[in-house]
Amino acid sequence: MRKLMEEAGKTVSTMNKDSDNIPDPNDRATLESDRNFELRIRDRERRLSNKIREALQRIDDGEFGICEKCEEPISEARLRARPVTTLCIDCKTDEERGEKRP
């Protein structure tokens, strides 16, 4: 978690150092693209760190490894592949099928 926070701090620092007064449109576009990419990475890391905290809380509460939808145990293989998961594979599959429907 500390490393994620350090990286986020570096991102902010770098963005503050970069000059917004770049005359060349191509250079400005490249800078903006790089900034957007960096922000997306940091947002993904932030969301993952939140999921890790939630998983640790479920461990403390004795709820880790139990599907929040059907309340059945989540398979060990699924938990090894995605330790922050809250759904068993069947419930996750059902959820994804529902997302694809118009």
pTM, two decimals, is 0.67
The lowest-confidence range among 26-35, 42-51, 89-98 is: 26-35
pLDDT at 77: 96
Torsion angle (degrees, nearest 10) of CA 75, 81, 85, 86: 0
Q: For residue 24, which amino acid is it?
A: D
- Cα–Cα distances (Å) from 49 to 28, 41, 84, in that order, read 31, 12, 10
Model pLDDT, residue 31: 87
Please state the length of the chain. Answer: 102
Residue 12: the pLDDT is 61
- For the chain, domains (ranges, CATH) are 1-62 (1.20.120.910), 65-102 (no CATH)
pLDDT tier for residue 86 given thresholds of 50, 70 and 90? very high
